[in-house]
Chain A
C-alpha cells in the first residue's frame, strides 16, 4: 500500500461524539450566534501586502521629503556661502578703493605743496 492510500485511511471522515447534533440544535434554539466567518482568514492574508504597501508608500514619501529638505538645506548653505563671498569681495573692493583714494589725495596734496 502506498502513502497516499494510508493517508486516506488515516484521515477519513469521523462521526462526532453522540449528542453532537442535539447540541448544535440546542445552541440554535437558544439564539446563540457566532462571529461571521466570511472575513476570518481574509485579514492575515490581506494584511501583509497592505502593510507592506503602506510602508513602501510612507517610506517613499518620507524619503522624498527628506531628499527635498536636504537639497533645500544644501541650496541655502550654498546661497549663504555665496553671499558671504560677495560681501567679502565688496569689503576688499571697498578697502582697495579707500586705499587708492587716500593715495590720490596724498599725491594731490604733495603736488599742490610743490607748486606753491
Chain B
C-alpha cells in the first residue's frame, strides 16, 4: 500500500503549513516539499523509468508549485495540484521526446517495505511492463496503484472522461496479465 496517502480531509496542520508557505515562509515550503516529494518523485519514476529524469521533473514540479502557491486553495487541493502537474509533465515529456523505453533503476531508496514480502525480480518486471504502456494508460495505472485513487479521482487529475479511464485501466490490466503469463506469472482476472 502507498505510504502517507492523504485522507479526504487534510489535517489542520497541513492547512496551517500551506497558509504559512503562502505567506512567504521558506521553512513551511521546505516542509511541504519534504512531505510530498515521495509522491511526486514516485509518480515520475514509475512513469519515466529513469531516476535522473524523474528527479529533474520532480524538482520542476516543486518549482512550479512555488510559483503558483497563491493559486492553491487548500491542503487537499495542493495534493490534487501536485498529482495533476506531475502527471501532465510526465505525459508531456514522453510525448515530446517520443521516448518509449526505460532505463535501469539503480540505488533506489525504498522506505516502508517489509523485506520478507519483497520479490525484487517481480517488482522490476511489473515496473518494466507498466513502463511499456502507452502514456495515458501508464499514468492511469500509476495513479491507481501508487496513490490508491479511485477512477473518478484519476479522471479529474488527468482530465479524461471516466469511461476512458476505466477503459485504459481494463485494457492495461489485461495486457499486463497476458505479458506476465508469457513469463510464467499467472494471475486470475
Residues in A lying within 8 Å of B, measured CB to CB: 2-4, 6-18, 20-21, 23-25, 27-28, 32-38, 40-42, 44-45
Minimum CB–CB distance from A27 to chain B (whole Å) comes to 6
Minimum CB–CB distance from B177 to chain A (whole Å) comes to 6
Given contacts A3-B180, A25-B26, A45-B159, is CB(A14)–CB(B38) below 8 Å?
yes
Which residues of the partner chain B approach A45 to less than 8 Å between Cβ atoms? 159
Interface status of B107 (Cβ within 8 A of chain A): yes
Which residues of the partner chain A approach B12 to less than 8 Å between Cβ atoms? none
Q: Which residue of B lies closest to A33 (CB)?
A: B67
Q: Give the docked Cα–Cα distance between A18 and B62 (Å).
A: 16
Q: Give the docked Cα–Cα distance between A28 and B29 (Å).
A: 11
- Which residue, of A11, A23, A24, A40, has the highest number of chain B Cβ atoms within 10 A? A11
Q: Among the listed A24, A25, A41, which residue makes an inter-chain contact with B92, where contact means beta carbons less than 8 Å apart? A: A41
Given contacts A17-B107, A21-B34, is CB(A6)–CB(B122) below 8 Å?
yes
* A34-B64 in contact (CB<8A): yes
Which residues of the partner chain A approach B46 to less than 8 Å between Cβ atoms? 11, 14
Q: Give the docked Cα–Cα distance between A37 and B92 (Å).
A: 10
Q: Among the listed B41, B108, B117, B126, which residue makes an inter-chain contact with A7, where contact means beta carbons less than 8 Å apart? A: B126
How many chain B residues sit at the interface, stated as a range, is 35 or more
Q: Which residue of A lies closest to B143 (CB)?
A: A11
* A13-B39 in contact (CB<8A): yes
Q: Among the listed A11, A16, A21, A36, which residue makes an inter-chain contact with B30, where contact means beta carbons less than 8 Å apart? A: A21
Which residues of the partner chain B approach A3 to less than 8 Å between Cβ atoms? 173, 176-177, 180, 187
22 contacts between A and B (CB under 8 A): A2-B187, A7-B126, A9-B123, A10-B123, A10-B145, A12-B3, A12-B42, A12-B146, A13-B4, A13-B39, A15-B111, A16-B41, A16-B54, A25-B30, A28-B29, A28-B66, A34-B64, A34-B67, A37-B85, A40-B85, A40-B89, A42-B159
- Which residue, of B46, B62, B108, B144, has the highest number of chain A Cβ atoms within 10 A? B62
> Within residues 151 to 189 of chain B, which ones have a CB less than 8 A from any CB in chain A?
159, 173, 176-177, 180, 187-188
Minimum CB–CB distance from A13 to chain B (whole Å) comes to 4
Minimum CB–CB distance from B114 to chain A (whole Å) comes to 10
Q: Give the docked Cα–Cα distance between A7 and B119 (Å).
A: 12
* B122-A41 in contact (CB<8A): no
Q: Which residue of A lies closest to B110 (CB)?
A: A14
* B67-A36 in contact (CB<8A): yes
Which residues of the partner chain B approach A9 to less than 8 Å between Cβ atoms? 113, 117-118, 123
Q: Give the docked Cα–Cα distance between A45 and B89 (Å).
A: 14
Interface status of B37 (Cβ within 8 A of chain A): yes
Q: Which residue of A lies closest to B146 (CB)?
A: A11
